[in-house]
Chain A
Amino acid sequence: MTLLLSIAIYVGLGVFLLGCLLRILRYARTPVPLVWDLLSTSDDEADQAGHRGSYFEETNWSKHRRHKHSLGEIVVMLKEIFVLHGLWKINRPLWRWSFPFHTGLYLLLAGGSLSGLGVLFHSYAVAAAIFSPARICAWIGLWLTLFGSSGLAWRRITDPNLRPYTVPGDLINLGGFALACLLILAGSLSRTMPPFRETVFALLTFQKILHLPVLAQTGILVGCAMTAYIPYTQMAHFIAKYVTYYMVSREDAAMKATIDAEMAKNLAYHPTWSASHIAAEGNKSWAEIATSNPISAERISK
């Protein structure tokens, strides 16, 4: 059984990474769009002066467009990632559950990464110093994830704002996390549960000899399935947000040549929109359409 668990862990992780990669590629490969983003609150000097203005407040701004990432922007990003600052500001009741849920996941991620590191240095003295924070992270992470996901599921069912927009998938997602954590925690409370370091080492190195409580085994399997499944749901918003809003859309100055080339490619596409005023006719490019005047093709109704 533990061999199966080891395989599940690596498969789960592999599918997760592959899913993330595919998602990144899918968004990154969408055509460079027209500029539409809300300007960042912290990407230039005007903002650092404190009133949240942008470079558009200067006459002649176009001569020295600034799209550089600043310290302020990084702070905003970190606050968003680790304390869910936006949600805290606008939806405190949800934040109370969402924050522990996300923190729990981060801690599980940290616990998992440290465990991997611990296994690598297993034969060195330093391993003990790695496994003990890993254990703490995993332990707190499991409780927080359990607490947060159950709370979120409960709110989804009871909050009149959320209920009409809750689909079975939402409850299964949250329920899956809660179940995995619950089972692992219940299993680890059992007297037959081996010590953390031994368990992790056995699981990550395909040892068959380990005997884990059935509850913990089931919990690990559910956890692996959930990990593999994340990138294929809206739970992977963390990836897409970076790709769409930070990495690509604000780099006009730095990537001018690339963007011009991408735009030339976009303008060469042949749209097939059917409305008569577009006059696409299946054989005109965007560039031709954008520089044509549809007026002869359509009557103006007064």
Chain B
Amino acid sequence: MKDVIRVSDMSRSNIDSLCTLDEPDLKPSRSSLGSVKEGPALTPLKPEVIQCCECGLDGTCALNIARPKSREEEDRLVASFLSGLEKLFTRENNWTFLRFLVYTMENCTRCQSCSDACHIYEASGRQEIYRPTYRTEVLRRLYFKYVKHGGLLSAWQHGDIELNWPLVARLAELSYRCNLCRRCTQVCPIGADNGLVAHELRKIFSQEMGIHPKELHDKGTMLQLKVGSTTGMPSAAVKDNVEFIDEDMSERTGLDVHTPWDVEGADVLLIHNAGEILAWPENPGAYSVVLNAAGIRWTLSSELAGYDAVNYGLWYDDAQFTRIALKQLDVARKLKVKKIVIGECGHAHKSLLVNVNRIAYGDLDIPRFSSIDLLRDIVFSGKLKLDPSRNNFPVTLQDPCAIVRLMRIIEPQREILRAIAPRFREMTPHGVDNYCCGGGGGLAILNANNFGDWRSEVAGRKKLDQILNAFSDSLDPSIPKYVCAPCSNCKGQIRDLFAYWNIWGRNRILYGGLVELIVNAMTEVKPGFLDWEWR
């Protein structure tokens, strides 16, 4: 039996990983996932990475934090962490989330009822470090010791912990072993929020220490603020690409597809996750087809941040979050559109429909809603002629955490699928009880070292199991199947998950968005819009 990893082990000074992920421990087993894969769960980290970076958590490394070269540097980093910790609990620095954070710190009863709600904890074979409360317990002890300056009595009441550089480095990595899906929060009887804790820890590292995954910061929010999109596409390139998509769509559908740009006073400003334009161009293309066919007065924007609904700041940095969200609203304000509609992107829904609400006042408070609702209204308006038999293949639905659990947009997508996909079936569980795809909280785009293995072996394992179970009556590769995932982040994760486990080759399961199924069912569109090609 493995040794139990204690909270105090985070301060262990040797560089060895706190835990190793051995394949036999992971659940469900490879064989019950129908895989013949062999070898270790994670490709071993390269010796040079282990030598120069802090990888003392679990055999993977998302952040590549450089190992300090001297004791002084270590002390400086610990002092910087401590300073960030103190700031996290002040109103000037963290008015954004202070209330919920303090609540979680001071009220959790450590009953562990939330543990089994977490897919990462479960899939890892219940590795202690992935228990939702583990990182919270570390932060809680630090809070009472260093922020509340509790003495012996406090240590007795809340537990003690030693703050040193190994703990700080491990905590940074550990904050990126959570999908921020808040399934654990949903089941907590008192509403303590372990997902929020991961988010707040990320903020100490980013906002105080300048430590963040490159993919979220340098190639994410900073790039978006510089050129307009996390894809790196400036405005002109986006327009070119969409023009190309229009041509391709016209050819594939037999309709004259044209995407409008920068239409002042339009009824709807549609903002896609710009990643769609590069990775899944048929999604924005299908929106153009459907909105035009429904006679909506709509537009895209070519302004900085106006053509990319992405806001990675939501996951790790309040300053970056507010900067991007306000820019996106400002684009809509200048364009004088009546409403903003968010494309099929979960975290963009959360960012622009929920989190920004209280700071979007005055003329920035432009009505905003979900493209899923709009699609439901269009499908049931009778404006499109739809033939469900064109979608006569097994379809299941991925519920993006942000859209479904956090915002409770549950039925519109189901109403659509029940109307246009005769072989639609649910995953178990689904709706607000869904499991995250394993890519939530920004993890889907993290790829340093062997982190992709971790996403597929651990974070996404539960989702893969759910998908295979949903199609258990039709796993044979002769039957094409479709996972409808109305979220770019989920799609990215499912793409990587399927590639890793060879799901397309083995079972012919494709994934894609919601709007594509609508276009595939439109009678005025040439049959065979879905091309059943792996991408």
Which residues from chain A sit less than 8 Å from chain B, CB to CB? 27, 30-39, 41, 46-47, 51-54, 56-63, 80, 84, 86-87, 89-91, 94, 98, 160-162, 164-170, 172, 233-237, 240-241, 244-245, 248-249, 252, 259-260, 263, 266-267, 269-278, 286, 289-295, 298, 300-302
Contact = CB atoms under 8 A, between A and B. Distances in A.
A237 B107 contact: yes
Interface stretch (B16-24, B154-162, B521-529): B154-162
11 contacts: A34-B357, A39-B408, A52-B432, A86-B189, A165-B7, A241-B190, A245-B191, A249-B99, A260-B361, A273-B93, A300-B218
A172 to B, nearest CB: 8
A276 B212 CA distance: 13
B197 to A, nearest CB: 12
A271 B92 contact: yes
B158 A56 contact: no
Given A35-B357, A38-B405, A273 B91 contact: no
A218 to B, nearest CB: 23
Given A94-B111, A172-B156, 8 more contacts: A30-B91, A56-B407, A86-B187, A91-B111, A266-B91, A273-B319, A294-B319, A295-B225
A91 B107 contact: no
Nearest to B406: A38
B458 to A, nearest CB: 20
A241 B185 CA distance: 13
B129 to A, nearest CB: 12
A63 B339 CA distance: 11
Contact of A298 (B109, B196, B222): B222
Contacts of A300: 218-219, 222-223, 226
B385 interface: no
A30 B99 CA distance: 6
Interface string B214-227: 10011100110110
Nearest to B106: A234
Contacts of A62: 365, 367-369
A291 B322 CA distance: 8
A39 B404 CA distance: 10
| Main SS class of interface, B | helix
B222 to A, nearest CB: 5
Contacts of B137: 165
Nearest to A298: B222
Interface string B136-159: 010000000000000000001111
Contacts of A27: 99, 102-103
Nearest to B8: A164
A54 B431 CA distance: 12
Nearest to A291: B326
Interface in B278-302: none
A31 B98 contact: yes
A53 B409 contact: yes
Nearest to B136: A165
B87 interface: yes
A33 B361 contact: no
A263 B361 contact: yes
Given A34-B355, A59-B373, A62-B367, A53 B223 contact: no
B218 A54 contact: no
Interface stretch (B202-210, B234-242, B255-263, B483-491): B202-210
A30 B323 contact: no
Nearest to B113: A91
Nearest to B218: A301
B320 interface: yes
A187 to B, nearest CB: 29
A98 B182 CA distance: 24
B117 A31 contact: no
Contacts of A235: 109
B367 A63 contact: yes
Interface string B379-421: 0000000000000000000000000011111111000000000
Given A38-B406, A86-B187, A166-B110, A290 B218 contact: no
